[in-house]
Amino acid sequence: MVGGQAMPNPHRTDRRSRRLAALLDELAVAAGQAAAILGAPVARRDGAALAGAAMRIEALKLPLGAALRRAEAAGAARNAWAASRRAGAADAPEAVARLTLRRWGETMAALRAVCAGARTPLAVETDPADPRHAQGRVIDEAYNALHFALRAEVQADPAVAAGAFPDVPLGASLFAGHAHAAWRIMAALGRSGSARLLDVGAGAGSKVAIAARIFAGADGLEIDPGYAAAARRLLGGRLLGNARCIKADALRFDGYHRYDVIYLYLPIRDRQRMEALEERIVAAARPATVLIAPYAGFHARAAELGVQPLAGALAVTGIPAAEAAALARDAERTGPLLPGPERLGEDRGGGVLAPLRRALRLNGFLE
């Protein structure tokens, strides 16, 4: 007796905690299996195995909740010192179970969405009657004003001599749509967590800044020293630690093979030199590199260049037409969400579901 009250049986309390820990271990195995399946390219996933893992996870919710309530009730009966000591341990079964159940609903909704296999188009046109169309136009106009304010006013002589266009910005919302579609292609290939984008003719670097919020890394290639300096000022902040500007001539650059996604939007005036640049990029890029080229001339040369169309302004290098079409269909089975690279680290609030939550983010089903 302590303070007139009977002390709880420590063996019974430990038994309840061990039961809770065993359920968490079982859940971790099932969630890990689901995460491993989701880590494979969409084309190679075992849908039946994923559905089975999802069913095993779902079946553990009620036993886990009941075991947590029993363990908490036993813990509440302890003396204040022991209870506070145990509750304060972040890795105690009770604490882990609470975190896991707190994220259960959104995690399982996302997993069920994957299992359902619904498709979301890669290229989405905004209806002019939709208010978001007007909102996007306003954002693009403001973005363009900021973009031109960042860059040097006059193009440098070496850039003019090389035939480079003055910095020509594509609308921010349009570029973000293309980049998001490219990220989903990477997700279908199982590469969304490591994919890197190169902007050929980056100007003041504003597209690189957008891409850095989507991809694991983003670089800009710029020949004009004034534009390159502006890009470095923009990309040098702490919030864009995964972005940089490379001052180089795109027709001599030898690093195209290092990127998963390459964006180019008419960086060169002269048609022959522009075509030479397209050919150089395609020849150097790895198979299954996604090209974002939002201008008609590139896609008119797709057969000549040996690239395959995907959706909208996107094309892919080094794979047959049938494989490219299948890849586009697989990408439509990825989710429509865009977590951003900063959310792909350790999920401290997910409990034992953390690996599964990361896999769902890498597939666009959680933010």
What CATH number should be reported for the domain whose range is 155-332? 3.40.50.150
Q: What is the pLDDT of residue 133?
A: 76
Indicate the range of 112-126, 148-162, 242-256 predicted with least confidence.
Answer: 148-162
Q: What whole-number distance in Å separates Cα of residue 61 and Cα of residue 85?
A: 26
Q: How far apart are CA 255 and CA 257, in angstroms?
A: 5
The one-letter amino acid at 82: A
Confidence band, pLDDT 50/70/90 cuts, at residue 7: very low
How much is the pLDDT for 316?
98
Q: Is the model's pLDDT at 160 over the cut of 90?
A: no
Give the model confidence (pLDDT) of 199-220 as tens digits: 999 988 999 999 999 999 999 9
Per-residue confidence (pLDDT) for residue 89, from 0 to 100: 58
The terminus-to-terminus CA distance of the chain in angstroms comes to 51
Question: Residues 300-344: pLDDT tens digits?
Answer: 999 999 999 999 999 999 999 999 999 999 999 999 999 888 777
Tens digit of each residue's pLDDT (9 = 90 or more) over 101-117: 999 999 999 999 999 99
Q: How remote is the C-alpha of 170 from its chain's centroid?
A: 22
Q: Could you read off the pLDDT of 45-91 as tens digits, one per residue?
A: 999 999 999 999 999 999 999 999 998 887 654 443 354 444 445 57
Q: How do residues 187-202 score in pLDDT, each as one tens digit? A: 999 999 999 999 999 9
Would you state the pLDDT for residue 85?
47
In angstroms, the Cα distances linking 186 to 65, 197, 327 are: 37, 11, 10
pLDDT in tens, 231-249: 998 898 766 789 999 999 9
What phi and psi, each to the nearest 5 degrees, are found at residue 228? -60, -40
Residue 10 has pLDDT above 50, yes or no: no
The pLDDT score that the predictor gives to residue 153 is 62
* Tokens matching residue 2: 């302590």
Sign of torsion, CA 186 191 193 199? negative
Return the ∠ at Cα 174 (arms to 172 and 178), rounded to 5°. 115
Predicted TM-score (pTM) of the model is: 0.88
185 CB-near residues (< 8 Å, 6+ apart): 122, 290, 310, 314, 316, 327, 328, 331
Whole-number Cα distances in Å, 100 to 17, 97, 256: 16, 5, 42
Contact residues for 30 (Cβ-Cβ < 8 A; gap 6+): 53, 56, 57, 60
